């Protein structure tokens, strides 16, 4: 019995990591809600990253970034961040895996649409206005894509003239039947 349990636990440990690799990207939580802009650079002093960061610090560009429902992901020195908050190593690796990038040391800037598809991929020189123009030229169906929101839950109003009742106290669960001894 112990050997079966250990075998099953080992099998689940290996299979669990394989299944988790399919849809564990941080981009999945932004699908239908925001447009991720991903910057992958070999260092924090990369000229492409520095110029993009400087452009995003300007109030007009920041407003345009926010108005277009964009979210900034950065992978600098293999350390991932989403909107300035650190991602774990697994999330960073999953982000890079989901983009299906080949090996390379060049800086890449990738725009992903609300539908989860790549809309723009640039290397080296990046112009924020060109990224904004790409978003503005997207078809209306992509612009309006949003994640479905559940309808609000409302409690039924008590009928007029009905007495106010006390809340019902929860009862204890029934005891399971005892198993007969063989």
Tens of pLDDT, residues 39-71: 888 888 888 888 888 988 899 888 988 888 888
Number of domains in the chain: 1
Examine residue 129 and state whether it is found in any structural domain, yes or no. Answer: yes
Examine residue 84 and state whether it is found in any structural domain, yes or no. Answer: yes
Examine residue 152 and state whether it is found in any structural domain, yes or no. Answer: no
Range of the domain at 99: 22-136
Q: Across residues 102-107, what is the average pLDDT?
A: 72
Examine residue 45 and state whether it is found in any structural domain, yes or no. Answer: yes
Q: Across residues 92-108, what is the average pLDDT?
A: 79
Backbone conformation region of residue 60, classed left if phi is above 0, alpha if psi is from -120 to 50, else beta: alpha
Please report, rounded to a whole number, the percentage of residues in the chain having pLDDT higher than 90: 0
Tell me, what CATH number does 119's domain have? 3.40.30.10
Examine residue 159 and state whether it is found in any structural domain, yes or no. Answer: no
Examine residue 141 and state whether it is found in any structural domain, yes or no. Answer: no
* Three-state DSSP class for residue 6: helix
Examine residue 169 and state whether it is found in any structural domain, yes or no. Answer: no
């Amino acid at each position: 019995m112990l050997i079966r349990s250990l075998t099953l636990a080992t099998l689940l440990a290996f299979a669990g990591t394989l299944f988790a690799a399919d849809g564990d990207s941080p981009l999945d939580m932004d699908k239908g809600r925001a447009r991720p802009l991903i910057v992958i650079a070999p260092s924090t002093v990369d000229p492409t990253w520095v110029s993009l960061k400087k452009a995003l610090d300007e109030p007009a560009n920041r407003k345009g970034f926010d108005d277009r429902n964009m979210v900034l992901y950065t992978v600098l020195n293999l350390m991932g961040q989403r909107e300035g908050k650190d991602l774990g190593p697994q999330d960073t690796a999953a982000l890079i895996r989901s983009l299906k990038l080949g090996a390379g040391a060049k800086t890449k800037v990738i725009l992903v649409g609300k539908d989860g598809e790549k809309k723009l991929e640039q290397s080296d020189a990046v112009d924020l206005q060109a990224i904004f123009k790409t978003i503005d030229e997207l078809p209306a169906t992509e612009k309006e894509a949003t994640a479905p929101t559940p309808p609000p839950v409302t409690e039924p109003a008590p009928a007029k003239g009905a007495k106010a009742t006390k809340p019902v106290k929860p009862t204890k669960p029934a005891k399971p039947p005892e198993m007969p001894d063989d």
